[in-house]
Amino acid sequence: MGAVSFLFLSLINSPIKAAETPASGSEDHAAIYFSAAPWDGAAYSIEIPLERTNDASQPFIRINIWGNPEFLEPKTFFFSGKEDPGGGPSRGSGRASFQTILNKSWPENLVGSVSFNALQKDHPVSGIYELATLDGKKKFKGSFQAAWGNKPLQIIR
């Protein structure tokens, strides 16, 4: 797709665009990974890098889609910000979070939605998102194109 995309973070009225890759200007370089849901199930994890700020040295949005959804038509997932990652009755179909330092800072749950054009293994995955922290102070809206970062997990039962 190669579409140029921007991400705006409304944090004290200062817009911030998605992180830029050195070779391609302002094109997102998100990644999608095969993963596993915390309660023993298939999942996908999408990591969308954001531009560095004074408060966030390596900011990322992480979107987890639980289950093994593979679809060739547009589909939207909604997040309440209160999903149960332990697989309980309010687990939902996934979870979205924001981290100021990827895999090192405490994740903030996000409320909102992500829409995919399609999701098929071994093909680039593109979509749009509109998310916010539960208190509404940080808002994220943008589009992404993600390349696959790994192969499906091999699970032996």
Which of 25-34, 43-52, 124-133 shows the lowest per-residue confidence on average (mean pLDDT)?
25-34
Report how many domains make up the chain.
1
Rounded Cα distance between 145 and 109, Å, is 22
User: Cα–Cα–Cα angle for 125, 27, 6, nearest 5°?
Assistant: 95
Q: Looking at the domain assignment, is residue 154 inside a domain?
A: no
pLDDT in tens, 13-24: 333 334 332 223
Q: Give the list of residues 6+ apart from residue 142 with CB closer than 8 angstroms, or none.
A: 5, 6, 7, 8, 18, 28, 48, 128, 129
Determine the pLDDT at residue 139: 94
Q: Which domain holds residue 53?
A: 8-148
Q: Looking at the domain assignment, is residue 130 inside a domain?
A: yes
Q: Looking at the domain assignment, is residue 112 inside a domain?
A: yes
Rounded Cα distance between 23 and 110, Å, is 30
Q: Looking at the domain assignment, is residue 19 inside a domain?
A: yes
Q: Which of 36-50, 76-90, 120-134: highest mean pLDDT?
A: 120-134
Confidence of residue 10 (pLDDT cuts 50, 70, 90): very low
Q: Looking at the domain assignment, is residue 108 inside a domain?
A: yes
Q: Looking at the domain assignment, is residue 24 inside a domain?
A: yes
